[in-house]
Every structure is written in structure tokens, then in C-alpha cells.
Amino acid sequence: MAQIVAAVTTSHVPSIGMAIDTGITQDPYWKPLFDGYLPAKEFVKQLAPDITIVVYNDHGLEVFLDRVPTFGVGAAAEYRSGDEGWGPRPIPPFKGDPDFSWHLIEHLVAQEFDVTMFQELSVDHGFTVPMSVFFGGAAGEVDEWPTRVVPITVNTIQFPLPLAARCFKLGQAIRRAVDAYPKDARVMIVGTGGMSHQLQGERAGFMQPEFDRQFLKKMVDDPIALTRISNGVYMKEAGHEGAELIMWLVARGAMNMQVREVYQHYHVSASLTAAGLACYVDA
Ligand code: DHB
Ligand code: FE
């Protein structure tokens, strides 16, 4: 039987990937961030998930504004880093698990989540940076990713975005689908994006540590309160791209109501983003 063994969450700033790929993680600007990632990497190493579900938003690589699925699930045998303008990242391809993906898709549709099915999908920083944060190392350290992956996309780009409550329910539906998978598999779910940040407009550079701290606390002890926050309020309080935090709620929804936070790290800033990370197991 498959089971979800942990949920982990992290920001997905592109320059975090650049810092890994160019070997500058120990530079003074980056060192505090990467030092903070070490316990999370150790946690994931010990956990050794067979399958990792990565909940992320495509930022215009595969999904452009003319066609935007609210939710999508990858069903490919392999996913490669796409070219977001600087060339594909120098990382190995990610192995998929089509059997598990189709099982997820069937069970999500049966639970009234009518997801888009991606039989081909290249992945952007929203996916690759969290994978590097939790599984990667210095440039070139990873020859092969130690887990199979399933990308799940969430629209956080084009209005209207799915509600936070809907994202949490998607996580609950993913949990039921995983529990119903007949083969043995240890599954980790990753929620990506956030925390507070805004990339454009008059408030570019906006960050809100107090909001983020409250969010981190409620992820543990009152996630339902976070599902009641409207996307407009997420954007006002955490910056426009801070609304990416709804993807953390997909991961949280896949866990028990009671969780234990194994590790948390928060660092202001990585690029324009207040970079948060947390690891949770069922209590
Ligand atoms: C940055 C953050 C993001 O979430 C993103 O998708 C792109 C850039 C940044 O802070 O640079
Ligand atoms: Fe983003």
C-alpha cells in the first residue's frame, strides 16, 4: 500500500537554482539560506521517498495566458528542465511514474477534480528549484534523482485562481488517492512557492515577515483558518506572488489534521522573496 510519509514546503525562487548551478551557495549572500536548508535535506535523505509529488505553478513555460488549466497532473515517463530564457538547468531529467500518475488522475476525477492531464511536460523553476533544495547538492552532485516524481500544476498566474479552500481539498483528495494505490510506495508531497513576495508594480519587493510567521504557525495548528483567506487578501497581505502560498495548502491538505513540524527555516530575502521552508509529518 502506498502512504504519504511527509509534506515539505519551500519557496521556489529561480536564483536559488542559479546559485546551486554556478557553485556560489557558500557566498555571503547565499550561505545563510543554504545552511538553513541542510537539516531539511538530511530529513528528506532519511525519509527516502519512492515517489515525490511536487505541487507547483508553471510560470509561462508550458502554460501561457491563452490556455491555463486550474489544476494539472503530469503523466509522463520523464520530465526535463525547460528553458526559461537562460537555457535549461544543468540537472538530470526527472523520472516519472505513469502508473501512479494515472491512478492519481483517475481517483482525482472520481472525486470531482477534473484535472488537465499532461502526457508531456517540461518543468520550470517552480518544480526544479524545490527538487534541488530537498534532493540536490552542489552543482553536478546529483547524477540521478533518488525519487520518481509527479508534477501537479496549480494556476497562480491568471485570474481567477483556485480558492485556498479548494487547494486544501485537492490535497485531501490526493491523500485518499494515495491511500487507495495498491502498490507499496512511500510518497512525499511538496508544496512550493511563497512566502511573501511581489515581483512587479509599485509594491515590487514587498515582503511581510509577520504575515509569513503567522502562516507558518497556522500551517501546524490551524490550517483551516488559512483556507478561509481569500486570494485578494493573500495578495494584499503577502504580495501579489505571495498568493502562491495556496500551493502549500495542497500539501497540508494531504496530511492529517494534526501534524508535527519537524523543521522550519525562514530567511529574508532570496532575491525578491521571503524564503520559507518547512517539513511536516503526521502527528
Ligand atoms: C522570484 C520569485 C518567484 O516565486 C518566482 O516565480 C520568480 C522570481 C524572485 O524573487 O526573484
Ligand atoms: Fe513563483
81 three-class SS = strand
pTM: 0.98
The values of phi and psi at residue 51, to 5°, are -130, 135
Number of residues in the chain: 283
Ligand 2 center–CA 152 separation, angstroms: 14
Minimum CA distance residue for ligand 1 atom 10: 272
Task: Compute the distance between CA of residue 275 and CA of residue 148 in angstroms, rounded to an integer.
Answer: 25
Question: Is the CB of residue 157 below 6 angstroms from any atom belonging to ligand 1?
Answer: no
| Residue 137 clears pLDDT 80, i.e. is over it | no
pLDDT tens column, 108-122: 999 999 999 999 999
pLDDT tens column, 6-50: 999 999 999 999 999 999 999 999 999 999 999 999 999 999 999
Q: Mutation test of ligand 1: which of 11, 33, 273, 277 has the most ligand atoms closer than 8 Å to its C-beta?
A: 273
Q: Which atom of ligand 1 is nearest to the CA of 12?
A: 4
Q: Which atom of ligand 1 is nearest to the CA of 270?
A: 10
Strands (E) in 49-143, as ranges, are 51-56, 71-74, 78-81, 94-95, 116-118, 122-123
Give the position of cell 547565499. 30
The values of phi and psi at residue 148, to 5°, are -85, 160
Sheet with 71-74, strands from edge to edge, namely: 116-118, 71-74, 148-154, 51-56, 185-192, 2-10, 273-282, 259-270
Provide the annotated active-site residues. 125, 197
Q: Alpha carbon 191 to chain centroid distance?
A: 3
8-state DSSP, 197: B
Position 138 scores a pLDDT of: 66
Question: Is the CB of residue 128 below 6 angstroms from any atom belonging to ligand 1?
Answer: no
Question: Is the CB of residue 14 below 6 angstroms from any atom belonging to ligand 1?
Answer: yes
| Residue 192 clears pLDDT 90, i.e. is over it | yes
User: What does the block give as the cell for 71?
Assistant: 489544476
